[in-house]
Structure 1
Amino acid sequence: MAPQKLKVTKVLSKKDRKKIADPLIAYNVARFGESGREKLAIRLRGDDGEINGGLVGYTARDWLYIEMLFIPEEMRGKGLAGTLLQMAEDEAKRRGCIGAFIDTMSPDALGVYRRYGYETIGSLGEFAGGHTFTWLKKRFQPSEA
């Protein structure tokens, strides 16, 4: 059977995304079992109480994935990134995770993650402007996990 008309688009409705994602998720569950995916977020609030940064991620298949970590410029250099990472890792350990992974294009963030025990597991250095995309992981110590 030949595929129907194929078209590249910038727009994808939630309904269409679901039609693509649902069979893939079903396949993965049948093949690998439930992922146990659970959201994880830490809100960073300014003096005014407004959210202006934080950490967003999830745990699944015994790993923590940190999707986003943002510290506003005026709050940097105070150890907040390390505090957020530690809080997320502690929660991940409570959920039974054995490690964490994160990615970045920021040389500053790369240095922070390495200071907190993350090691590079791969990189792609051909992004516009000479930027490098780096993936990092951190295995939790057996006594921690």
Structure 2
Amino acid sequence: MDIDLKIIEGMTADEEDFILERLMTHNAATFGPTDRRELAVPLHDDDGNLIGGLTGYTGRGWLYVSMLYIPDELRGRGLAARMLDMAEAEAKARGAIGAYIDTMNPAALKLYLKQGYTEIGTLKGLEGGHSVTWLQKRFQLRR
């Protein structure tokens, strides 16, 4: 079989789903079945419109926070910390031992450190002098 590879600008959602499904099947066969469960803390305005929130999932004993967004006009009210606390509490109830997250935002990094996360890696030298930091937080086990 002769494989012809090429670079394209992007894929459709169906094409991405196709690859993701196969990757998840491969990973389950290689590493065992996952207990992945989605998790979200949506943020709505007074009219019920979605304006921000937290999304992520639990799986293989960890919470991954994939997105956390607070609109500018609501920042500084402790909403991000409350959302993290809620997600972490749910993750603990699901049996997770910790959480991980990444950020490019210096203000978010400061918040995550204040919330008890510790840096586990940084990629420096992104365009504009930015960097990406990965963080983790181990949950204390109750006895």
| Fold match by TM threshold 0.5 | yes
User: Would you say 1:36 and 2:49 are equivalent positions?
Assistant: no
Any gaps of 5 or more consecutive residues in structure 2? Answer: none
Instruction: Normalising by structure 2, report the TM-score.
Output: 0.92
The 1-side partners of 2:119 and 2:39 are apart by: 23
> How far apart are the structure 1 equivalents of 2:65 and 2:23?
22
Separation in 2 of the partners of 1:76 and 1:19?
37
1:70-85 mapped onto 2 (5 Å cutoff): 70-85=69-84
TM-score by length of 1: 0.91
**Cα shift readout 1:36-78 (whole Å, capped 9, x = no counterpart):** 1111011111233321111010111010000000111111111
- Distance in 2 separating the partners of 1:115 and 1:8: 42
Paired residues, what number? 143
The question of 1:141 aligning with 2:140 is answered yes
Flag structure 1 segments of 5+ consecutive residues without an equivalent. Answer: none
Mapped partners of 2:34, 2:106: distance in 1: 32
Identity rate of aligned residues, in percent? 50
Q: What amino acid is aligned across from residue 39 of structure 1 in structure 2?
A: E
Give the 5 Å matches for 1:41-120: 41-120=40-119
Shift of 1:30: 1.4
Query: Which secondary structure state, in structure 1, belongs to the residue aligned with residue 15 of structure 2?
Result: helix
